[in-house]
Structures are given as C-alpha cells and as structure tokens.
Amino acid sequence: MLTAVKGGGRTSGDPFELLVYAAECGNQCTCDYGDIDEPFYDSLEKMFESAAKAVAKLDKEQAEPFIDRLADVVKKAHGIGWGYYDGINEIFYEVFPDEEDDE
C-alpha cells in the first residue's frame, strides 16, 4: 500500500487518508498489544514520517484534519518504548513547527 501511494500507483481512496490511517493503525496495534520490538517501531516511525511529509504538502485547510490526527497519534504514543514516541514527536514538530506542543 505505502509503495503504491508514494509511487503514484493505483489506490482506491485518498492517498493522504491511507497514509495517516496506516500510521494510526500501527500505533493502535502497539497501544492494544503492548511493547513489540525495535524493527516494528522503526517501521512505524518511517510510516509516520511519510504521512507527515505528504500531509505537509497540502494547503493548510486540506492538511488541518490530517495534522490533528497525526497529533493524536503522537499523544497516544506517549510512554511507548524503543524511542518510538520521541521519534514521532520530533518528526511531528519538525514537519509542523507551527503546531502547539501540549506537553
């Protein structure tokens, strides 16, 4: 799926929705099932970064709902191990520096 979206391949639906939804699902998996392993978190972090960078290319009005959802992913990841939370938090505020840090 990610390759199709990034490469302009055929997908049904909004490619930004797919990227953000994939980041949400991966994050929810670890929230539901507990600590997994470093390669899993590395993959989630890359997926989150791809979603954030794609959303950042949208105009502000289009991007805002996706930015809010990515911010929720960061908030829900607080306390998750392997440096995952720190990584996606850093990515979020690098890509969206104008967003408020609620911590």
Residue pair 11/43 in contact by the 8 Å Cβ criterion: no
Per-residue pLDDT of the chain (103 residues; tens, 9 = 90+): 445 445 444 444 589 999 999 999 999 999 999 888 889 999 999 999 999 999 999 999 999 999 999 999 999 999 887 799 999 999 999 999 999 776 5
Residue with tokens 């959303």: 55
Token pair, residue 71, equals 């911010």
Residue 63 CA from chain centroid, whole number = 13
Q: How far apart are CA 102 and CA 53, in angstroms?
A: 21
